[in-house]
């Protein structure tokens, strides 16, 4: 009987140990089954990146490969590295004439045609009109240069908007010597510039030149003159008569004379 009691106690211990091992095995198995999907399934961020940069040919890429994208890059690609270097160099030496002339001889003259035009356009866009004039003079000396009214137009308009009328008229004379006529926008900006500059006589000279243009005139330069010549009734009446002859269906607003102290 004593031996049977000892045997039953040892059997109970074995059964308890086996039960503990079984419970541990089941618990570890359940933990592995719950952790595995977290370790090996793609996260929402990874799936978003993969979907966002999936190329057309079907190969998934879960990262940005560093290549520039978008319209900003497409715009910058139009200007080459050498052209960008020239723009920065000209801006650096713009207040030192000797260094600027030396830089033009050593670097600007080495540019290709498209790079020179790109430098001119970018200088105009940045408002560096004095440098743009220098660049335009360099372009005119190239063997490939042909008279182009649009090269003149952009530069003259940029100068007129900054009230650099002397430089604008120098280009205007050069343009007319090449038998080029500007468009209506160029006439408008130059006329407006002279009126703001306080020189109605020069504005009228441009107006007379506009009447010789082979292109049909537009209303805008007339209306700019009619407004700017209010303090000069004799000049304004002449422009008004021409306007009514060319545009008979249009009306000209005449403000009361006492507003401008003409009485």
Provide the CATH number for the domain around residue 115: 1.25.40.10
Which residue numbers in the chain have pLDDT < 50? 1-7, 31, 35-41, 43-77, 258, 261-263
The verdict on residue 109 lying in a domain is: yes
- Domain total of the chain: 1
The verdict on residue 254 lying in a domain is: no
Q: Which domain holds residue 98?
A: 68-141
pLDDT recorded at residue 214: 85
The verdict on residue 107 lying in a domain is: yes
pLDDT recorded at residue 52: 41
Q: How far apart are CA 168 and CA 192, in angstroms?
A: 13
pLDDT recorded at residue 70: 40
The verdict on residue 111 lying in a domain is: yes
pLDDT recorded at residue 251: 83
The verdict on residue 253 lying in a domain is: no
Q: How far apart are CA 77 and CA 21, in angstroms?
A: 70
The verdict on residue 235 lying in a domain is: no
pLDDT recorded at residue 258: 46
117-to-75, 169, 185 alpha-carbon distances in Å: 15, 22, 21
- What is the number of other CB atoms lying within 10 angstroms of the CB of residue 47? 12
The verdict on residue 131 lying in a domain is: yes
- What is the pTM (predicted TM-score) of this model? 0.62
The verdict on residue 245 lying in a domain is: no
């Amino acid at each position: 009987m004593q031996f049977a009691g000892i045997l039953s106690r040892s059997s109970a211990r074995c059964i308890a140990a086996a039960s503990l091992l079984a419970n541990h095995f089941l618990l570890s198995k359940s933990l592995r089954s719950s952790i595995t999907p977290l370790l090996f399934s793609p996260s929402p961020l990874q799936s978003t990146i993969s979907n966002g940069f999936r190329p057309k040919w079907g190969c998934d890429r879960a990262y940005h490969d560093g290549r520039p994208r978008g319209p900003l890059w497409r715009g910058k690609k139009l200007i080459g590295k050498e052209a960008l270097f020239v723009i920065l160099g000209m801006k650096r030496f713009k207040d030192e004439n000797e260094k600027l002339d030396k830089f033009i001889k050593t670097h600007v003259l080495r540019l290709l045609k498209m790079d020179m035009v790109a430098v001119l356009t970018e200088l105009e866009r940045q408002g560096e009109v004095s440098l743009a004039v220098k660049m335009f003079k360099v372009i005119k000396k190239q063997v490939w240069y042909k008279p182009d009214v649009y090269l003149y137009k952009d530069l003259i308009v940029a100068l007129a908007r900054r009230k650099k009328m002397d430089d604008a008229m120098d280009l205007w004379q050069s343009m007319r010597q090449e038998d080029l006529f500007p468009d209506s926008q160029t006439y408008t900006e130059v006329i407006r510039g002279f009126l703001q500059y306080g020189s109605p006589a020069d504005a009228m000279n441009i107006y007379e030149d506009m009447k010789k243009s082979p292109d049909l005139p537009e209303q805008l330069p007339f209306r700019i003159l009619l407004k700017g010549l209010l303090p000069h009734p004799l000049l304004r009446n002449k422009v008004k008569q021409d306007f009514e002859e060319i545009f008979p269906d249009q009306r000209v607003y005449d403000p009361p004379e006492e507003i401008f102290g003409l009485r």
